[in-house]
Amino acid sequence: MARYTRAEARDWARENLVGVVNCTIPSFTGDLKNINEKAIRHDTRLAVEHGFMGTLGVSEVSIQLPEYLDFLRIIKDEADERLLLVHHASWNNLEQNIEAVKGAEDAGAELVLLSYPPNFYPETEQEIYDYTKAVCDATNLGVMLFPMYLWGFSPRIHPSDIPLRLIRRLLDDCPNIVAIKAEGGFPSIQSVIECHRHFGEEVVISMPIEGELIPLSQIMPLQFSATSDHEYYGPMIPRVFQLLREGKHDDAADIYWQLHPARKTKSGLAAALHGGAFINRQAWKFQGWLQGYNGGPLRMPTQRIHDAQMNALRKGLVDAGLEPSMDPFREFFIGRNPA
C-alpha cells in the first residue's frame, strides 16, 4: 500500500520524489517460459547500490500481466523501502491498463508512469483527457503525466504532444497527478521549461534525460529525474544529481564532460536502435549489462542489438573512463544469473 492517501499525493510527491529513477527490465529463464526471480533480485540490489532512489518496472516487453505483477512484487520484496517502485502503465488498452494499475497498487508500487497504447489514436484533446482521467480515477497512486513524441500526438493534436491547456485541465481534475515527465516536443527543452514555469509550484517536474538534467539543474530547480536508462552510466547519474543538489556545479560539469563520449555514442545510435517510435529494450538491457546488471534473453517479439552497436556502446563507456564489462557479448544473451 502507498504511504499516502489520494488527497495527500501531491504533498507526498513534493517531499519524496527527490532523486534519480532507473529502469528495471524483466529478466527471464533461459527457456523464456518464466520470469527469472534471481536475476530480478540481482538488478534490484545493484540499483540500490548504484544510488538510485527508485526504479521503473518496465512493461514494454513480451510479458503477461500476471507475470508482470509478480515481477513488481519481487522488486518490492527485495528493495523494501530502499527503492520507490514505479508502475509502467503501458498496456494494450484502457481496460487492461486499469486492471494493471490496480494490480500494481496491490504489488507495492507507489508511482505510476502513464503511457498511451499504440492503438490509441485520439483526434481531439478531449480524447486524451478522457483516457488520462480514467486511468487516474482508477487508482489512489500518484501519477506522472508523460508528454512525449512516442504517442504520435504531434502535430495532429499539438507540436508539444500534450499542450499546456490540456495539462492544466488534467491537473485541476485529477488530484493524484503528482509529476510531469516533461519531454513534450522532444528533443526540445521547451516542455520542461514551460512545465516548470506553469506547474512547478503544484507538481514535481521530472527531467529524465541526463544530458539536459545536468545543465538545466544549474539554472533551475529540478528535484527528480525519472525514468530513464540511467543505468548505462552505473552510479554516475545519482552521483552527479547529488552534486547538483549541493550546488557543486563545477564538479557536476566535470562529470557532464566526462560522460560526453558515452552520451554522444548513445545518442548517435538512437536512430538505428529505436526505429519506429519504439524504445529498444534489448539495447537498454545491454547498456545495463555493461554496468553489471543481469542482461539475459528477451522474448519475441523484441528488437535486436548487433555487434557494431554493442561495440560502440562499450567503447563509449571506455572513452568516458567508466570501465564497462569486457565479458564476451555472448554472455549478455545468457545473463549473469541464468536459470
What is the domain partition of the chain in residue ranges?
6-247
Q: Over 90: is that where the pLDDT of 2 sits?
A: no
Pick the more confident residue, 286 or 187.
286
> pTM score > 0.85 for this model?
yes
Q: Is 105 helix (H, G, I), strand (E, B) or coil?
A: helix
Q: Residues near 95 by Cβ (< 8 Å), separated by ≥ 6?
A: none
pLDDT band at 274 (very low <50, low <70, confident <90, very high): confident
Residue 271 is predicted with a pLDDT of 80
Averaged pLDDT for residues 207-223: 97
Q: Is the pLDDT of residue 53 over 90?
A: yes
Check residue 164 and give its pLDDT: 98
Strands (E) in 90-148, as ranges, are 111-114, 142-145
- Cα(17)–Cα(300) distance, integer angstroms: 35
Distance between CA 223 and CA 243 in Å, rounded?
12
CA–CA distance, 316 with 313 (Å, rounded to integer)? 5
Average confidence (pLDDT) over 24-41: 98
Average pLDDT rounded to a whole number, residues 311-333 = 98
pLDDT of residue 273: 80
Q: How confident is the model at residue 327 (pLDDT cuts 50, 70, 90)?
A: very high
Cβ distance 55 to 75 under 8 Å?
yes
Q: Sorting pLDDT into bands at 50, 70 and 90, what band is 270? A: confident
Contacts of 243 (CB under 8 A, 6+ apart): 249, 251, 252, 255
3-state secondary structure of 192: helix
For position 26, what pLDDT does the model report?
A: 98
CATH class of 6-247: alpha beta
Confidence band, pLDDT 50/70/90 cuts, at residue 277: confident
Does 272 score more than 90 pLDDT?
no
pLDDT tier for residue 244 given thresholds of 50, 70 and 90: very high
Mean pLDDT of the chain: 97
